C-alpha cells in the first residue's frame, strides 16, 4: 500500500512523548522513543484506552486508563506476550510524515 500523509514533522511528539493523530477512520498513536518515531493503533486492546494520550516509560507507551505498556516498535503488550496492536511503517520526508496503513 502507498504511504499517505499523517501529519507534519513539526507536529510530531517530542522526545519520550506519545501523541494521537486521526488518519482516515483510524486514530494512530505516534511515539517518539529517544528520537525514533513509530506508529501503532491508538486503541488499547485492554478496554480501548487512547494510547496516544499515554506517557512513555522505559521505551513503552503506557495506556492512560489502566497502565498496560505497549512496545511501539512491535505493538506487543509488555505483560501479555503475543497480544499486539497493529504497527505501521512511517517515513519522514522533508516536512511531511507519511504512514503506510497496509
Ligand atoms: S484500556 Fe488500556 S490499560 Fe485498560
pLDDT digits (tens, 9 = 90+) for 37-74: 999 999 999 999 999 999 999 999 999 999 999 999 99
Please report the atom of ligand 1 found closest to the CA of residue 68.
Answer: 3
Q: How far is CA 38 from CA 22, 30, 73, in A?
A: 15, 6, 6
Separation of CA 75 and ligand 1 centre (Å): 14
Please report the atom of ligand 1 found closest to the CA of residue 64.
Answer: 2
Q: What domains does the chain contain, in order, with CATH numbers?
A: 4-99 (2.102.10.10)
Residue 44 Cβ inside 6 Å of ligand 1? The answer reads yes
Q: Is the pTM of this model over 0.85?
A: yes
pLDDT digits (tens, 9 = 90+) for 4-25: 999 999 999 999 999 999 999 9
Q: What is the model's pLDDT at position 17?
A: 98
Grid cell of 41 as nine digits = 493503533
Q: What are phi and psi of 53, to 5 degrees?
A: -100, 5
Q: What is the model's pLDDT at position 1?
A: 72
pLDDT digits (tens, 9 = 90+) for 67-98: 999 999 999 999 998 999 999 999 999 899 99
Amino acid at each position: 500500500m502507498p504511504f499517505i500523509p499523517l501529519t507534519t514533522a513539526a507536529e510530531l511528539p517530542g522526545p519520550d512523548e506519545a501523541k494521537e493523530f486521526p488518519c482516515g477512520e483510524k486514530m494512530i498513536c505516534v511515539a517518539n522513543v529517544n528520537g525514533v518515531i513509530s506508529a501503532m493503533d491508538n486503541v488499547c486492546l485492554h478496554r480501548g484506552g487512547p494510547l496516544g494520550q499515554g506517557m512513555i516509560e522505559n521505551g513503552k507507551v503506557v495506556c492512560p486508563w489502566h497502565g498496560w505498556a505497549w512496545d511501539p516498535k512491535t505493538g506487543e503488550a509488555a505483560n501479555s506476550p503475543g497480544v499486539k496492536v497493529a504497527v505501521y511503517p512511517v517515513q519522514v520526508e522533508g516536512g511531511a510524515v507519511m504512514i503506510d496503513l497496509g
